[in-house]
Every structure is written in C-alpha cells, then in structure tokens.
Amino acid sequence: MDVGVYNGKARVAIALLHRYRALRCRQIGTIHFSLHVAGVRVSFEIERKFLVCGNEWLNLATSHRAIRQAYLNLNGKASVRVRIQDGGATLSIKSRPAELRRLELEYPIPVLEAEALIGLRQGAVIEKVRHLVPWHDLVWEIDVFSGENDGLIIAEIELRHEHQAIDLPSWITTEVTGQAAYYNSYLVQRPFSSWSSEDGAIQRENWRKSNT
C-alpha cells in the first residue's frame, strides 16, 4: 500500500470521527458504547491500568495471544494505531491525551495492508503477549512485553463506567492510569529499556517498587 492509500484510509477514519461527534451520542451502561457506521466501530473506552507483581496471575490465565502493533501518528488530539493479532489486523484511532475515558474508532484491514502500514510507523514496534485472567465478574488483560520493552508487565481492566468499584487481586500493585509513560504510544518513543536514563528514572523506580 502506498502513502496515498494510507492517507485515504486516515481521512475516512477522521471523517467518521467528526460524524460521530455531530451525532452527540452519549455513553450508556456498557463497557463500550458502540456505533457502527459503514462497518466501523466507534466507542468510548473506559480502562484502568496497573503494574503487576509476581506470577501468581499466570496460573489463572485462560488464554493468550501475541500482538504486534505500531503507530502511524502520535501528534495532536489522536493517535493512529495498526495492530496484528490472531491472524487478523485492525486500524484504530484513539483520542489523546491518555486518560481513564477515551474515544476509540476501530475497523479491520487486511493483514498485508497492516504490514505495509507498519513500515510507515513512527517509533518502534510494540511486541507483547496478552493474557486474559478472569477475576470475579471482570476479565483482566495482562500484557507481557518483549523486545525493547522486555521486563514490563501491565494489567488493564475495562469498566462499565468511570466510578465502577473493583476488587483488586493481590498481584495488582501501583495504578498508572493516565501516566503517559505506561501507554503504548509513549513506549514506542521511550521504550522500557531506556528508562534507566535520567528522564525515565521516576517511572523505573515506580516499577521497581511495585515488583519487590
């Protein structure tokens, strides 16, 4: 796929985003409030992020999948992500900055096109294995990173609304929701392996405390 084709897809996604806003849709009591327009899913994502300690959670995991993803745009009010997993691929737009509740637009694309788009990325490729861990009435997504982010483990939980109370397992430690350093769009620019430098000292120290 050439750059012109990619730009066409990006324009379609942005146009749908503006159309969604014009409809003044509001979130209802589900994990995602979704609107399907021309085959594209538009939704709000409500998600909290935490650091993880130990490996007790691994015994509770019911499935896992490998993920490769990269970012085509990291500036302005939205990030554009391409992801390959489970033999399929998606192109996603998420509102910025990173926070508890974010607008998300996502639609499937052919894997070959995704591979071509990854070649147009900004920053590094994110490689990780995502484990699904049921806990009470929710399911935790625990990402074990590799490559330049090897050693980093982040747990994510999707909520029905911002004020939903959750029972934290013993292997969940420091909450990092809204801390940009722990989001994938930041890790492609400042990977975990670089956090020993001065600008990443605070983040690495927080991670160290949560894993001792």
Catalytic pick among 6, 71, 107, 182: 71
Q: Cα separation of 193 and 163, whole Å?
A: 34
Look up residue 123 and give its amino acid.
G
Look up residue 103 and give its amino acid.
L
Q: Cα separation of 200 and 12, whole Å?
A: 37
Q: Cα separation of 183 and 62, whole Å?
A: 24
Q: Cα separation of 75 and 96, whole Å?
A: 9
Beta carbons of 139 and 173 less than 8 angstroms apart: no
Q: Cα separation of 29 and 120, whole Å?
A: 37
Annotation marks residue 71 as catalytic: yes
Residue from 177, 180, 182, 178 nearest 207 by CA: 182
Sign of CA dihedral 25, 77, 110, 2: positive
Look up residue 144 and give its amino acid.
V
Q: Which residues are catalytic?
A: 71
